[in-house]
Amino acid sequence: EAQVTQNPRYLITVTGKKLTVTCSQNMNHEYMSWYRQDPGLGLRQIYYSMNVEVTDKGDVPEGYKVSRKEKRNFPLILESPSPNQTSLYFCASSPSGTENQPQHFGDGTRLSIL
């Protein structure tokens, strides 16, 4: 089954404790992206990747890191999480980032930073 898989689905942690949210897709998609979704603010792009070893900042990259060492994986890293990073996070992928390419989303990761 074609899918985007995020882990964990839920995480409660404390300020400053490094964490990684994994994202994996099995559709051989070139483009992958991370979003956070907050009430009243909608989906905001954190980082995206056009292909292996190519990553770019989205609209809200501060406090986050990503890597794209393999095509299928695009982990989101919070080196020193803070409470303002409490949010619902989605990973998405598409065949490419260019025109006419809808994105497919993972189930989401709900992060709470205390």
Partner 1 sequence: RKEVEQDPGPFNVPEGATVAFNCTYSNSASQSFFWYRQDCRKEPKLLMSVYSSGNEDGRFTAQLNRASQYISLLIRDSKLSDSATYLCAVNIGGGADGLTFGKGTHLIIQP
Is residue 10 a contact residue for partner 1 (CB under 8 A)? no
Nearer to partner 1, 44 or 65 (CB): 44
Among 65, 21, 57, 48, which residue's Cα sits nearest to residue 103? 48
Is residue 41 a contact residue for partner 1 (CB under 8 A)? yes
Tokens of residue 19, six digits: 């964490």
Residue 56 CB contacts under 8 Å (≥ 6 apart), including other chains: 47, 48, 49, 50
Provide the 8-state DSSP code for 67.
-
How far apart are the C-alpha atoms of 87 and 39, rounded to whole Å? 9
Candidate segments 13-21, 61-69, 73-81, 89-97, binder of partner 1 by CB under 8 A: 89-97
Tokens of residue 106, six digits: 């993972």
Helix or strand run (H / E) with residue 110? strand 109-113
Of positions 11, 19, 27, 50, contacts partner 1 by CB under 8 A: 50
Candidate segments 18-26, 42-50, 62-70, 72-80, binder of partner 1 by CB under 8 A: 42-50
Each residue 94-113 as x (binds partner 1 by CB under 8 A) or -, in order, gives: x-xxxxxxxxxxxxx-x---
Which parts of this chain interact with partner 1 (CB under 8 A)?
Answer: 31, 33, 35, 40-43, 45, 48, 50, 56, 58, 88, 90, 94, 96-108, 110
